[in-house]
Amino acid sequence: MTDGGLAGGFTEGFTDDFIVLEGVEKVFEVRKKAGFLKRERRQVRAVDSISFTVARGEMVGYIGPNGAGKSTTIKMLTGILTPSAGRLRVAGIDPSRERRRLAHRIGVVFGQRTTLWWDLPLIDSYRLAHRMYRIPEDRYRENLDRCVELLELGALLDVPVRQLSLGQRMRGDIAAALLHDPKVLYLDEPTIGLDVVSKAKVRGFLRELNAERGTTVLLTTHDLQDIEQLCSRVMVIDHGRLMYDGALAGLHEAGESERTLVVDLERELPPVEVPSARVVRVEGPRQWLAFPAGQSAAPLVAHLAAEYPLVDLSVREPDIEAVIAKMYAEKAVS
């Protein structure tokens, strides 16, 4: 893929570290009522000294509980908010200083809000984007045709946005964010409220976009299946701090998660006794044993086979949702 197309001078200041944050902070001053007339000033440290880099073409999940600082980070990356401290660059550009120039390189989709014109047919929002971003005619046509095909928008182009279902509207929003060929796409909850089929369509499209065009994607979501299906790397933020940055698989270790061995016995028995595993559930002849995710199941199986009338068994991987919930909980008490 080339960097050609719309953005002239794109290579200026460009490195393979496409998104760079160094010690970035965002502190909000809030005033709180403290009596009849008195107001107290308070500082909220929404983002607290965060550093990371994202290489061109990476697809990274950015997750955390409510109020963790995800949206604030995204707003700084788009230039809507200026960091209180630290250094931030996207495609070599300082977002808050050169917001307009950056706008040609980035696409943003907020699942909870639409950028489409509510009362106008979908196609009109695209025509406006065409003019606003001064997209060359052939690029616009090509990008629109591609989005219409892959996101199945053909029958919806003449429908006013307010009449679209949530899933249709979301696909419409994603197309709108991509018509100007952005090099980076920020997605904030792109599958929120969508049914299973719509989710699959959106995820399939994003996978293809990333693979074919090398678009760098930063994805914020509460749906961990989005992460599991799209991102090989995940960053976890809590209380404005980066708690984890690495492979999705590594989260299991970071969260000290457990795997489950499900055993079927010949008959109903009291909970089995096996070293370094504990029975967490019993249902008739079936028992569930939890053991550390980093440990091999082989010795447990050998012990069970030797000591108990074993019929069948299977190992279940930890549920990522549970792992992350545990991470948050541990952080909260520490």
| Residue 64 makes contact with ligand ATP by CB under 6 A | yes
User: Is 118 a residue that touches ligand ATP (CB under 6 A)?
Assistant: no
| 152 sits in which H/E element | none
Residue 6: closest CA among 116, 94, 107: 107
| Smaller CB separation from ligand ATP, 80 or 310 | 80
Q: How many CB atoms lie within 10 A of CB 283?
A: 8
Residue 28 touches ligand ATP, criterion: CB under 6 A? yes
184 exposure class (CB count in 10 Å sphere: 0-12, 13-18, 19+): buried
Query: Is residue 149 a contact partner of residue 73, using CB atoms and an 8 Å limit?
Result: no
**Judged by CB, which is closer to ligand ATP: 67, or 154?**
67
161 binds ligand ATP (CB under 6 A): no
**119 CB burial (10 A radius; 0-12, 13-18, 19+):** exposed
Pair of tokens at residue 291: 């053991």
Site string for ligand ATP, 263-282 (x = CB under 6 A): --------------------
Is there binding between residue 50 and ligand ATP (CB under 6 A)?
Answer: no
Helix H or strand E encompassing 37: none
Length of the chain: 334
The nearer residue to ligand ATP, 7 or 185, going by C-beta atoms, is 185
The reply to whether 70 sits near ligand ATP by the rule CB under 6 A is yes
Cβ pair 144, 178 in contact under 8 A: no
Does residue 318 interact with ligand ATP by CB under 6 A? no
The pair of three-digit structure tokens given for residue 51, joined into one six-digit string: 């550093």
Least distance (Å) between residue 310 CB and ligand ATP = 45
Q: Does 71 bind ligand ATP (CB under 6 A)?
A: yes
Q: Does 257 bind ligand ATP (CB under 6 A)?
A: no
- Give residue for tokens 């994607």: 217
The reply on whether position 211 binds ligand ATP by CB under 6 A is no
Contact flag: residue 111 with ligand ATP (CB under 6 A):
no
Q: Is 44 in the site for ligand ATP (CB under 6 A)?
A: yes
Closest CA to 2 of 174, 206, 183: 183
Nearer to ligand ATP, 30 or 34 (CB): 30
**Of the residues 24, 72, 186, 205, which one makes contact with ligand ATP according to CB under 6 A:** 72
- Number of residues in contact with ligand ATP under rule CB under 6 A: 12
Q: CA 141, CA 128: separation in Å to the nearest integer?
A: 14
Sites of contact with ligand ATP (CB under 6 A): 28, 30, 44, 46, 64, 66-72
